[in-house]
Amino acid sequence: MRTESEMLNLIINVANKDENIRVVMLSGSRACEYAPKDIYQDYDIVYFVSDIKPYYNNLEWINLNFGQPAIMQLPELMTHPKLPPCGDGHFTYLMIFDDGNRIDLSIEFTPYIDDGEPAIVLLDKDNGHGFIPHLSISQSYFNVKQPNEKLFHDTCNEFWWCLNNVAKGIARDELPYAMEMFNCHVRDMLNQMVSWYIGVITEFSVSSGKMGKYFKRYLPSELYDQYLKTYSDSNYINLWNSVFTACELFRYLALQVADYFTCTYNQQEDGNMTSYLKKVMDANLAERVKPEV
């Protein structure tokens, strides 16, 4: 596998040879000081260009300058309904090469909008007078953000409310529906509460990582072990156990977060849905063991 220095040299050299490419920017985890370093990190690269046309869906240009990717995705050319709409004029090449290196290359023709996200300018042919007039880099950009009281209450309500759909899906033997509700809608709220708890115990000085990838790093081991038990296989008894483990974990974390921000936690909402879940589970399990006549 090519080293980081080899990859960055390649990326910069391509730009140096092309007068149309004015700025090269590195963003993502490789531009973030506290992000863990490993061989799986992407190279999130932006080429700011004076003319987009030569780079728009130009696979010959990619192959000539970077080599032929083993696999790639071109978001601007895709029409899958699950993907966000594009069409603002820029073009992106997502590429993995045979040696395992990945480059996410975005070609941009409008000035950079600085929102404080960590980024490193690798090359600027215009010395700050073109696409990148100023950078206000903040290494705290990705840190867990403090919630207001309404957001906290809405998160709790969404967690407890959506559990009724999980129970319904299990009772009806609709496993894909139950899993989707639990592992997407309910888990989104659980993950949000985990992130806030991590913020509380670290004074909101760290990031919990995209999709919770740093949970293991910051959660106390017993809580992380409990979090792992919220994942289930397709066995309904195991799924019920995961549901109630998620409820127990969410309750504990939410109470800690509520105490930190001196706001109230809706115990009645929690108790009523927990009672409902137990009734559905008991009826569901009884139905499954009912002897055949």
Residues 24-80 have pLDDT tens digits of 999 988 988 778 888 899 999 999 999 999 999 999 999 999 999 999 999 888 876
Same domain, 11 and 69: yes
Max intra-chain CA distance, the chain: 84
Same domain, 159 and 63: no
Residue 131 within any structural domain of the chain: no
Percent of the chain with pLDDT over 90: 76
pLDDT at 280 over 90: yes
CATH number at residue 188: 1.20.120.330
Residue 11 within any structural domain of the chain: yes
pLDDT band of 175, cuts 50, 70, 90: very high
Same domain, 274 and 159: yes
pLDDT at 253 over 70: yes
Domain count, the chain: 2
Strands 43-49 and 102-108, sheet pairing: parallel
Average confidence score pLDDT of the chain? 91
Q: What is d(CA 249, CA 230) in angstroms, rounded to the nearest whole number? A: 9
Q: Locate all alpha helices (DSSP H) within the chain, ordered by sequence.
A: 4-16, 59-66, 149-171, 175-180, 187-201, 215-218, 221-228, 236-260, 267-288
Same domain, 190 and 154: yes
Residue 144 within any structural domain of the chain: no
pLDDT at 87 over 60: no
Query: 236 vs 28, which has greater pLDDT?
Result: 236
pLDDT at 82 over 80: no
Domain that holds residue 13: 4-124
Instruction: Average the pLDDT over 206-217 and give the result.
Output: 93
Residue 137 within any structural domain of the chain: no
pLDDT at 159 over 80: yes
Residue type for position 69: P
CA 24 vs CA 57, 73, 155: distances in Å: 19, 21, 39
DSSP tag of 131: S
pLDDT at 13 over 90: yes
- Please tell me the pTM assigned to this model: 0.82
CATH number at residue 78: 3.30.460.10
Residue 194 within any structural domain of the chain: yes
Rounded (5°) CA angle 208-210-214: 40
